[in-house]
């Protein structure tokens, strides 16, 4: 798997004596969570994992060198049963996914570390991660954080329709992959599909509303795409990468400075 994580920030590249020398209370460990699943005809199965690594790697380069923040090896497989029926999708059950996070959290806590970030770039994982972040805090006393893939970066230059419903293999993901590894993007295989229209609001929505319906991708998007990748470009991907990396880096700095009492430590 390609990586953009700096060697100096890669936890798995350390020896155990080097790990033992890390300051337990202030070190922030980042556990990436993603997926291996269909992304239409034009993007690779590893899209979510590649984007996670791409953004996190660039964010880590923005941190002060003295800040002890390290990326753990990613959980590449996720709760991807919304994409069952498409060859190549490799899904974990919710229980297996959550148990994996729990066991890794146990290892982090057993080693004496206090802070763990769950950095996620797959929508199907979110509900499970919300539960596990609280459970790790309750069971092990870990100061656990959730961080979304964008870090809260804004995509105001996206068309409103794409911003609302282009959430799988659409313009943002395709542009990021064009910037990261364009050789993996099949640009002659774009397809377009939206599961709802912002101009025609309904009482029931696929997600994000007060009343939602459960869906499987094969029910609503035959090609597996939810969005429009056709306006994508590496230039847009580079621009959005900078915003995302800056937002993720800002969040990581805040998390590293978060005290055990739940307040940001003064500098």
The predicted model gives 67-83 an average pLDDT of 98
The predicted model gives 193-218 an average pLDDT of 89
32 belongs to a structural domain: yes
How does the average pLDDT of the chain come out, rounded? 95
Report pLDDT for 207: 78
Report pLDDT for 209: 81
Residue with tokens 């690779």: 44
Q: Which residue has the higher pLDDT, 103 or 196?
A: 103
At a CB cut-off of 8 Å and minimum separation 6, what does 263 contact? Answer: none
Report pLDDT for 261: 57
4 belongs to a structural domain: no
The predicted model gives 40-52 an average pLDDT of 98
C-alpha–C-alpha distance, residues 89 and 81, integer Å: 8
93 belongs to a structural domain: yes
| 3-state SS string for the chain | CCCCCCHHHEHHHCCHHHHHCCCCCCCEEEEEECCECCECCCECCCHHHHHHHHHHHHHHHCCCCCCCEEECCCECCECCHHHCCCCCCEECCHHHHHHHHHHHHHHHHHCCCCEEEEEECCHHHHHHHHHHHHHHHHHHCCEEEEEECCCCCCCCCCCHHHHHHCCECCHHHHHHHHHHHHHHCCCCCCCCECCCCCCCCCCCECCCCCCECCCCHHHHCCCCCEECCCCCCHHHHHHHHHHHHHHHHHHHHHHHCECCCCCECCC
The predicted model gives 26-41 an average pLDDT of 98
267 belongs to a structural domain: no
For residue 134, the domain's CATH number is 3.40.50.10310
Report pLDDT for 260: 60
Best CA proximity match to 96, nearest among 78, 118, 123, 73: 78
Share of the chain above pLDDT 70, in %: 97
pLDDT at 150 over 50: yes
Both tokens of residue 219? 């029910």
pLDDT in tens, 96-143: 999 999 999 999 999 999 999 999 999 999 999 999 999 999 999 999
263 belongs to a structural domain: no
Report pLDDT for 264: 52
The predicted model gives 226-237 an average pLDDT of 98
For 66-89, letters b (16+ CB in 10 Å) and e give ebbbbbbebbbbbbbbbbeebeeb
Report pLDDT for 267: 43
Give the structural domain span for 116: 9-256
Both tokens of residue 132? 């596990």
The predicted model gives 182-205 an average pLDDT of 93
pLDDT at 262 over 70: no
79 belongs to a structural domain: yes
Number of structural domains found in the chain: 1
């Amino acid at each position: 798997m390609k990586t953009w994580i700096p060697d100096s920030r890669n936890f798995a590249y350390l020896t155990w004596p080097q790990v033992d020398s890390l300051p337990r209370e202030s070190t922030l460990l980042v556990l990436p969570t993603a997926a291996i699943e269909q992304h239409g005809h034009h993007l690779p199965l590893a899209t979510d994992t590649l984007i996670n690594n791409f953004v996190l790697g660039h964010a880590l380069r923005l941190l002060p060198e003295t800040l002890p923040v390290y990326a753990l090896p990613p959980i590449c497989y996720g709760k991807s049963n919304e994409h069952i029926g498409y060859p190549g999708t490799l899904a974990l059950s919710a229980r297996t996914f959550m148990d994996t996070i729990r066991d890794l959290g146990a290892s982090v806590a057993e080693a004496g570390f206090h802070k763990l970030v769950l950095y996620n770039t797959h929508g199907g994982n979110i509900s499970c991660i919300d539960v596990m972040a609280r459970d790790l805090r309750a069971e092990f006393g870990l100061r656990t954080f959730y961080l979304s893939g964008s870090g809260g970066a804004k995509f105001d230059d996206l068309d409103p329709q794409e911003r609302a419903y282009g959430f799988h293999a659409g313009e943002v993901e395709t542009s990021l992959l064009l910037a990261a590894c364009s050789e993996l993007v099949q640009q002659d295989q774009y397809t377009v599909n939206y599961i709802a229209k912002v101009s025609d609001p309904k009482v029931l929505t696929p997600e994000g509303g007060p009343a939602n319906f459960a869906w499987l991708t094969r029910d609503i998007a035959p090609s597996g795409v939810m969005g429009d990748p056709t306006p994508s470009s590496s230039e847009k991907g580079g621009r959005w990468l900078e915003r995302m990396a800056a937002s993720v880096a800002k969040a990581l700095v805040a998390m590293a400075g978060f005290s055990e009492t739940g307040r940001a430590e003064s500098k």
